[in-house]
Structure 1
Amino acid sequence: MATTRLVQPTPKKLWLAAIKPPMYSVAIMPIIVGTAVAFGETNKINQSIFFTFLISAILILAWENLSNDVFDSETGIDQNKPHSVVNLTGNKSLIFWLSNLCLGLGILGILLIAWWQQDWTVLIIILFCCLLGYTYQGPPFRLGYQGLGEILCFFAFGPLAIAATYYSQTQSFSITSLAVSVFIGMSTSIILFCSHFHQVEDDLAAGKKSPIVRLGTATGAKVLKWATTSLYALTVLFVVFNLYPRWILLVFMSLPFAIALVNHVEQYHAEPDKVNNSKFLAINLHFVSGILLALGFILPH
């Protein structure tokens, strides 16, 4: 009689899962889109500021990811997560200080932008983003454990990040950039929302009241469908009201990624082993739609 062998992930795969390279789309897309909006409105771009902001955003997200692993290790929610960086290294203190180093270097880059502009506005906005990021998992707040992570994510990676990026290029604010930030904020929150479907049992055991724990996976799949559809409905609405140029309708080319995500979650929402890749499908949607948004502002109007 044949026996089934469980294939154990290799160390390389575990480290890739821990570092989560695709997740850095969340850091780079607000910078790309915010800069594209500024370029579309001014026909200028400061490349030094753009690349400094991009590197700083990646470093700050690295801090967020590493510190979250540290904070989660304290609640026990990651005890069944072999690709936690803390579990892989067995050295929580090292990861804590490494995360702080990433934060310090990221903020240093934002300080450099503020010094170039002789204006502290971008620094203040990004510090507020970092505060929201800390309250997500950091003690004593741990707002993510109360199901508020998606709201924090929306504001930190949407309106605030886009406003800071736009301001870094123009030293002003824009209604158009605010409208764009709603799309980016929602598509980013969808990634976090999808990350909960496969870990309901672990969340319950640790007392984490994620949206999927509160709603159940079936209702969560319906909410995902509504939220994803809203991205495209808002796009049409903003074009009608001239907040977006018509080239933004290119974003509808990302519909296959949206449909694939919604269908996958609808079919497998109650099967953790099959739905656990839904956040990567959400990242695909976030990245492709974000690039198309940026193109919509860069192309001649």
Structure 2
Amino acid sequence: MSEQQPVSRRRAWLMAARPQTLPAGAAPVVVGTGLAVGTDVFAPLPALAALIGALLLQVGTNFANDYYDAIRGADTPDREGFTRVTAGGLIEPARVKRAMYATFGLAILLGTYLVWVGGPAILVIGLSSVAAGIAYTGGPAPYGYRGLGDLFVFIFFGLVAVTGTYYVQAVAGVAGIPPLPAPLAFVPPAAVVAALPAAGLSTCILVVNNVRDRETDAAAGKRTLAVLLGYTGSRIEFLLLLGMAYVVPLVFAATGYGVAVLLPLVTLPLAASLARTVLTETSGAALNPALETAGRLLFAHSVLFAAGLAVV
């Protein structure tokens, strides 16, 4: 859609929510649930609540980024990414901000059920996830502007999302509310290792985004890791994260899991195509489609990996 064409209010809100990112939000929950099925701790209601909560956190973070990047001047007319509704004047900033808080509020409300299931550990995870989603581009010292965005995505949209999903299912059948140290007892090392592909591929999406925006981010004073590392360093980071996503299934296969755990390897051609683009391109014309490809890769890899973990 051309920026000159009129945009309906409904379309503008869809643009702000960025529904194309929802598979990326769902992917780690799928992996955690697949492992829960394979270890006989699957609990459907906690799994569903974790999925909806993850999607709300994704949308809330999208609203936050749209709003805070605009008021900080990071979304300039030279930016080559998808249209941002706040900077583009499609929705009033105050309304985007209210939508952000409303979405995070719904996530917290849903989280009360998960806290009832999982105890104080889930309260800590949920509130820290909301705070991290806001502080990424908001607050007095947004860490996304200081080269820490990649670490945030790796931790919260990978490690925390997968292990948290597994944890609330593992404790669902336990009598009483588990104490705060409970995750140490209910989350096996396999859950942490299984989270690494989703963590790595989620971060790859951010790397593609930040490579595309490197020049405009630098001009706006937004010091993403791509700005700090440069194109070469960012591409090395991308390849390491991408490679990790394919090493982990091999590790599981070598440690007693069935051959089905190697299902994610069928996505290697898609990964190779994405890598060629990231290694050779910097323009929005090339990297905007690559962003969508990275999202599809994350979701496909996660679904296949979850299936392999579930049939063990």
Paired amino acid for 1:265:
V
Q: Is the 8 A contact 1:126 1:161 kept in 2?
A: no
Q: Is the 8 A contact 1:59 1:103 kept in 2?
A: yes
State the partner residue of 1:94.
Answer: 95
Q: Is the 8 A contact 2:60 2:133 kept in 1?
A: no
Paired amino acid for 1:29:
A
Aligned partners of 1:50, 1:36: CA distance in 2, in Å? 10
TM-superposed deviation, 1:118: 6.7
Aligned partners of 1:118, 1:38: CA distance in 2, in Å? 15
Aligned partners of 1:23, 1:287: CA distance in 2, in Å? 10
Aligned partners of 1:246, 1:36: CA distance in 2, in Å? 15
Q: Is the 8 A contact 2:157 2:199 kept in 1?
A: yes
State the partner residue of 1:46.
Answer: 43
State the partner residue of 1:122.
Answer: 122
Q: Is the 8 A contact 1:197 1:276 kept in 2?
A: no
Paired amino acid for 2:268:
L
Q: How does 1:72-151 map to 2 (within 5 A)?
A: 72-80=69-77, 83-86=83-86, 87-115=88-116, 117=117, 119-151=119-151
Deviates more, 1:214-223 or 1:135-144: 214-223
Post-superposition CA distance 1:47-82 (Å, at most 9, x none): 222222222221121111101211111210113257
Aligned partners of 2:55, 2:4: CA distance in 1, in Å? 27
Q: Is the 8 A contact 2:53 2:107 kept in 1?
A: yes
Unaligned segments of structure 2, at least 5 residues:
172-185
State the partner residue of 2:176.
Answer: none
State the partner residue of 2:244.
Answer: 230
Q: Is the 8 A contact 1:27 1:58 kept in 2?
A: yes
Aligned partners of 2:240, 2:293: CA distance in 1, in Å? 16
Aligned partners of 1:205, 1:22: CA distance in 2, in Å? 28
Distance 1:9 1:238, change over 3 A: farther
Distance 1:46 1:226, change over 3 A: closer
Q: Would you say how many aligned residue pairs link Structure 1 and Structure 2?
A: 291
Q: State the secondary structure of the residue aligned to 2:213.
A: helix
State the partner residue of 1:188.
Answer: 202
State the partner residue of 2:307.
Answer: 295
The yes-or-no answer on 1:261 pairing with 2:274 is: yes
**Identity value in percent:** 25
The yes-or-no answer on 1:59 pairing with 2:60 is: no
Aligned partners of 1:213, 1:253: CA distance in 2, in Å? 33
Q: Is the 8 A contact 2:267 2:300 kept in 1?
A: yes
Aligned partners of 2:287, 2:98: CA distance in 1, in Å? 33
Paired amino acid for 1:83:
T
Paired amino acid for 2:200:
M
Distance 1:47 1:233, change over 3 A: closer
Aligned partners of 1:291, 1:58: CA distance in 2, in Å? 16
Q: Is the 8 A contact 1:260 1:281 kept in 2?
A: no
Q: State the secondary structure of the residue aligned to 2:195.
A: helix
Distance 1:215 1:180, change over 3 A: same
TM-superposed deviation, 1:7: 5.5
Q: Is the 8 A contact 1:135 1:142 kept in 2?
A: yes
Distance 1:140 1:257, change over 3 A: same
Q: How does 1:19-34 map to 2 (within 5 A)?
A: 19-34=17-32
TM-superposed deviation, 1:194: 0.7
Distance 1:176 1:108, change over 3 A: same
Distance 1:9 1:187, change over 3 A: farther
Q: State the secondary structure of the residue aligned to 1:208.
A: coil
TM-superposed deviation, 1:31: 1.4
Aligned partners of 1:241, 1:104: CA distance in 2, in Å? 42
Paired amino acid for 1:233:
V
For the aligned residue pairs, the C-alpha RMSD in angstroms reads 2.3
Distance 1:99 1:16, change over 3 A: closer
TM-score, reference length from structure 2? 0.85
State the partner residue of 1:3.
Answer: none
Distance 1:7 1:111, change over 3 A: closer
Which one of the candidate residues 268, 291, 307 is aligned to 1:279?
Answer: 291
Q: Is the 8 A contact 2:56 2:104 kept in 1?
A: yes
TM-score, reference length from structure 1? 0.88
